[in-house]
Amino acid sequence: MMRQTSSCSERRDLTPCASDVRTTGVTADSPQPEKPATPTDQKREDRAAEAAAIRRRWITLGEVLAVVAVIISALTLWNNWSQRSDSKAAESASAQRASARAATLVLVAADSGERVLALKPASADQTIQSQKIAFPSGLGIAAVETTGEPRIDVKWFDEALKKARSAAKLPDNSRGDERVPVLITTRFLVDGEPHSDAALYDIGYTISGRLLGGHSVTLRGISFVAAAKGKNAAAGLDARWQANVPAK
């Protein structure tokens, strides 16, 4: 019995035969050949690449702007802090200067009477509470204290002054204003806060001799000499007295 065979061309299925494979070299699993790029596809790719580049540039620009914004914010914050610090420092320095000025006492004569000098602080912010007026040891008189009514009364020292001038053989009649130094310690208030001050002052006076009534001392005013502190205050007072009325 003979076997019937059929050729590849007579097969009805779609499977390629071996002869076809050997002839064409293409199988079902072989990759399909790529289609050549058309001009339209190239333009599309170019536009996509350009858009991507633009997006990258915008991202970079945004990052730069963000960094710039952070720097500007930091500089603004530092500038505001610096201005506040400078303002606070200026206010503190101004307050310290004002406090120092307020705590510095200078006495002036409110009323230059012939027998009594009414005293007051040069600053209206100060209120005198009490005073102690010490005289040179050469006059041999005790210190005088006042409360609530700052003043210099000639009767506290005029007799001692006349004796000292006579012992020093000074003229009976003064030429211009003479001076007697005193050490004044003052307790006073500034905005309710207590302060204390000690300073040397010169009391200005004139003296005139009378044939029957003796000598008369007239007060002229008071002037600030220097601040005085510690044990040297009394020594400075006596040195100034010796310069005005030298001992004979």
CA distance 126 to 119: 12
Which residues are within 8 A (CB) of 39 and not within 5 positions of it... i.e. 6 or more apart? none
The alpha helices in the chain, defined as continuous H runs, are 18-24, 39-103, 158-167, 232-244
Q: What's the pLDDT score for residue 2? A: 43
CA distance 102 to 189: 9
DSSP assignment, residue 156?
G
Q: What's the pLDDT score for residue 184? A: 97
Q: What's the pLDDT score for residue 181? A: 96
Strand partners, 190: 126, 193
Backbone phi, then psi, for 223, in 5-degree steps?
-140, 140
- Taking the CA atoms of 242, 223, 113 and 146 in sequence, report the sign of the dihedral they define: negative
CA distance 221 to 162: 18
Whether pTM > 0.85 for this model: the answer is no
Kindly give the pairing relationship between strand 151-153 and strand 144-147: unpaired
- Look at residues 101, 104, 135, 105 and name the one whose alpha carbon lies nearest to residue 120: 105
Domain ranges of the chain: 46-103, 107-244
- Look at residues 116, 160, 119 and name the one whose alpha carbon lies nearest to residue 141: 160
Summarize pLDDT for 84-113 with one digit per residue, the tens. Answer: 877 777 766 665 655 666 678 999 998 777
Place of tokens 């003052």: 186
* Other Cβ atoms within 10 Å of 195 Cβ, number: 15
Q: What's the pLDDT score for residue 137? A: 94
Q: What's the pLDDT score for residue 248? A: 59
Q: Mean pLDDT in each 10-residue stretch from start to end of the chain (248 residues)?
A: 46 49 50 61 72 66 77 86 75 62 84 87 92 96 95 95 89 86 95 92 89 78 91 91 80
